[in-house]
Copies of this chain bind each other. A is one copy, B any other.
Amino acid sequence: MTGIKDITVTFRTDLPLWPGDPTPTTTLMKSQEAGSRSNVTRIDTGVHFGTHLDAPRHFIADGKGVDELDLNMLVGPCVVAEVLGVKEITPGHLEALNIPAGTKRLLLKTDNSALWETPNHDFDVEFVAITREAAQWIVDRRIGLIGIDYLSIQLFADRDAATHVILLSVEVIIVEGLDLREIAPGAYNLTCLPMKIAGADGAPVRAILTAA
């Protein structure tokens, strides 16, 4: 790979919306067409919409906010691993990836990525995610950042928040909504920079890959 690969889904208000979350809006609050000197957009959105990350505070009441996350974990070597044809990713699937020892950042490319072919699709409850046991596997392997290509690392049907809590209680950074369609499995350098919102439980991110 040469150059920079953008793995961020472009923010549009018609991206799939988590059930119960408010529909985002963008408004041209000043416009040259309406006589203003400049064009100025206003944006109103939940912070877990589109490509975003979860800070510990998303599920841990006294956990770190997004502005307190360690930039040294958000930037650095990562592995993109492919898990296709699977709905629930288990420790067995992760084990079979043969991820190099010492991997700190892992992005999972699944059948989800194909959903971004149609960015304005309706939210798909059948998305691929990891089991709570897989979350524990990630913690045990001392991975500090886990990414996935749909809106949650956790299965939609889960009756509790265990997968999130297992990861966030030890401050594993969860990056969700990545577009990995064009990324071949392998080693890269990740730069995943969230909007620095004071005390927030998450934030939109811009995430890019460069050659390892």
Interface residues of A (CB under 8 A from B): 3-4, 6, 8-12, 20-22, 26, 29-30, 32-33, 37-48, 51, 57-59, 61, 67, 71-72, 75, 161, 164, 191, 193-198, 200-202, 204, 206, 208
Contacts and interface: CB of A to CB of B under 8 A. Distances in A.
B29 A46 contact: yes
Q: How many copies does the complex hold?
A: 2
Given A71-B208, A206-B196, A39 B57 contact: yes
Nearest to A66: B41
A11 B43 contact: no
A165 B47 CA distance: 32
A208 B193 CA distance: 9
Q: Which 5 A-B pairs have the closest CB atoms?
A: A193-B206, A44-B44, A39-B201, A4-B71, A193-B193
